[in-house]
A and B are shown apart, each in its own frame.
Chain A
Amino acid sequence: MSTETKPVLQVEHLSTCFKTDQGVVTAIDDVSFDLYPGETLGIVGESGSGKTVTSKSIMRLLPEHLSFQKEGSVVRFEGKNLVTATEDEMREVRGARVAMIFQEPMTSLNPVFTIGWQLDEALKYHTDLDRAARKQRAIEMLKLVEMPNAERRFDEYPHQLSGGMRQRVMIAMALCCEPDILIADEPTTALDVTIQAQILRLMDDLKHKTNTAIMLITHDLGVVAQTCDRVLVMYAGRVVESAPVHELFDAPRHPYTKALLQSIPKSGRREHGKRLPTIAGLVPSLFDLPPGCRFAARCAYRDEHCDAVEPELVDDAPRRRVRCHYPLPAEEVAR
């Protein structure tokens, strides 16, 4: 990204808490990042790291009576703070300006309405087009996502489509109002690899055509390597590292990122039958977080300082940030 481009979305100090039977738990803690037009930002982390809560907090899709944002949380979009926006203001943003696709395409489509009806709904709310024009636009969108027999599919129900086709409908719905931002939450996790390849290629083509900013949430580092420009690594509700994708894979600075990269089997590397490097232990419970670094208990480079004081997320190099007292030297690892 050149320095002139202004970010389309700025997330600052976003903290989301949930009220549970065991007390209040902070699911994401002080998350900050910028998203630029035309880039794909990957958000990586294991289950429970707060990837999905981050995206749902931006979209304000979390149940309001069970969750709240801490004082000082800002999601800046077009000069507005979405954290404090009214529900009416959010309705203008959701679907039209910021769209989202979910992991499970079957449960996120309504089974009792046709594909066409569901595509039409968004257009009805967010555009002034008449009925015929909306239908034309919807079919255009289905063609754009390479849906075979788009006209016929328009009148079909979700159960008549395969998983890959359903996900393409979700993408068509998300893109029909030409959003500035597309949030894709594990869009290919439930799909087979050959279908995943189709969806990833499709998202990439669309990004180039429409300059949409994409926030891609995934746990699959292979998908990140293939599609992202920048990466944010999350661990136990914290951003632990952010970097351009090449730099992250070449020289991860946070020990967690390094360990994560090493623990995936590599294809075509003839490491057959060797033991994989693992990360010992488990992610700490959010109810019982250590006072120091959240990764300390599993970290190979830990000392007393790490147990006592949690490191800040600091600028480490141009466009790189890391949350570690002893960031790894910038050498090539995990190739």
Chain B
Amino acid sequence: MRYLRGFSLPAYFWLFIAYLFAPLLVMAAMGLRDSAFIAFPITKWTTHWYADMVFDREMLSALVLSARVAVLSTLIALAVGLPTALLLTRTRGVMRAILVAIVVMPAFLPVVVSSIALRMFISRLGIEPGTAAIVFGHAAGSTPFVAVMALTRLDSMGHNLADAARDLGADEVIVFVRVVLPWLAPALFGAFMFCLLLSFEDFVRSFFLGGFEPTFPVLLFAKLRFGLNPGIAAISTMVLFTTMALGLYAERFTRRRRLRRDDQ
């Protein structure tokens, strides 16, 4: 056991880290290959793939669409998820269990199933596949996470704060704006970042609900099957580092808040 603790477990841990990061580093390196084809070993290096891809119109418009969809769907998910959490705090017992189950359902369904269901449903509503449909699909997928994150935070609030504000003469609107919302702010920020990345990464929903304009993962999927070059590795690497940085920032932010709270 001492042997396990001293050497084997740390070694295994760092091996696992290598498994996680090696493919990503290999991809970053491939973006530097001075050739029109993807292959190892790399003998001649260049930075022109990275430089070109920043201005590649097809990639850029896909990235812009992905970002637009991410922001819109996240805002909708927040607007719906917050009242959902408020509603859940007011229910008890079986009613609450059933409601929670229905609210979180989209997070557990196979994504293919919910995407197909939504695809058929929007055609019933008269919405064509396209940006609006993707935004709706992503919002439907993100709302459970917003609701659960906000609900967890609300459950830890207690009645004292709101009651104190009321005793001091605040009406319900003021209580909500000055007490409840600030209390929820870190959870809402965490949910915002989480859903932004969730939507930005999504492939399946965008694939089934999208029109002719591809989001970035859909475009990348098509490129992986036809038309690979080191440029694809370059743009993927840039997207990868951006999303990873955003994710780490959000994770650190929420974790630091939690640690500070535990200290008090």
Q: Do A and B come from one complex?
A: no
Q: A residues touching B (Cβ–Cβ < 8 Å)?
A: none
Q: B residues touching A (Cβ–Cβ < 8 Å)?
A: none
